[in-house]
Amino acid sequence: MRFSESFSSLHSIAEKLAGLSHAELHQAQQGKWSVLQHLYHCWMVERGVLAYIKLKTQDPSALVRVSVVTRLKFTIFFTTLRLGVLKVNAPNVVQKFPSEMSIADLLSKWQNTREQADAFFLDFAEHNAKKGIFRHVFIGRLNKRLTQQFIRLHLRHHLRLCRL
C-alpha cells in the first residue's frame, strides 16, 4: 500500500474546488482562513511531516518505541477536536501563505509531495515503521501508521471546516 493511499484524493478535492468561484476560494470565512488557505495549510503539513521523517530516520538507532499512552493521547486529541471541545492553533510555519495562490499550483505541489512520500516509504523497513518516526507537538512520537492516520484525520478536519 502506498503511504498516501488512504488520504483524501487530490482528484476528488480538485473536483470539489472546480465548483467554487474565485471569491469562494479566496474569501476568509468569518475571520478565519479561506478555502485555499485551509488546503495550502494541509499541503504544508504533509510536506513538513515528510521532511521531518526523512531527517529523523537517517539514524534508525535513534528511533523510539511508540507508547500506549501516545496511542491514547492520539485518540483523545482527535476525538476532542472532532467534538469541538478542543481548538488548536497551527504552528506558525504551516500558516504562512503566499499572497497569490492558485489551485493548479497547489495541487501540483501537493501531488509532488505525495509522490515523494510514496517513494520514500516504498522500501522503508517495517521494523522502523513501527517506531516513532514523527513527533506531533501535542501527541508525541507517532509510528508510520499513526502518522498516516494523523494526516488523514487532519485533512478531513480541514475539509469539513471549509465545507468540502
Architecture of domain 10-161: Up-down Bundle (1.20)
Domain ranges of the chain: 10-161
Are 123 and 69 spatial neighbours (Cβ–Cβ below 8 Å)?
A: no
Are 46 and 120 spatial neighbours (Cβ–Cβ below 8 Å)?
A: no
Question: For residue 21, with 0-12 CB atoms within 10 Å meaning exposed, 13-18 middle and 19 or more buried, which class applies?
Answer: exposed
Are 6 and 114 spatial neighbours (Cβ–Cβ below 8 Å)?
A: no
As a whole number of angstroms, the distance between CA 4 and CA 118 comes to: 6
Residue 57 confidence (pLDDT): 97
Residue 95 confidence (pLDDT): 87
Residue percentage of the chain with pLDDT more than 70: 100
Q: Which residue has the cell 483523545?
A: 76
Residue 30 confidence (pLDDT): 73
List, for residues 99-122, the tens digit of each pLDDT value.
Answer: 889 999 999 999 999 999 999 999
Q: Which parts of the chain have pLDDT scores under 50?
A: none
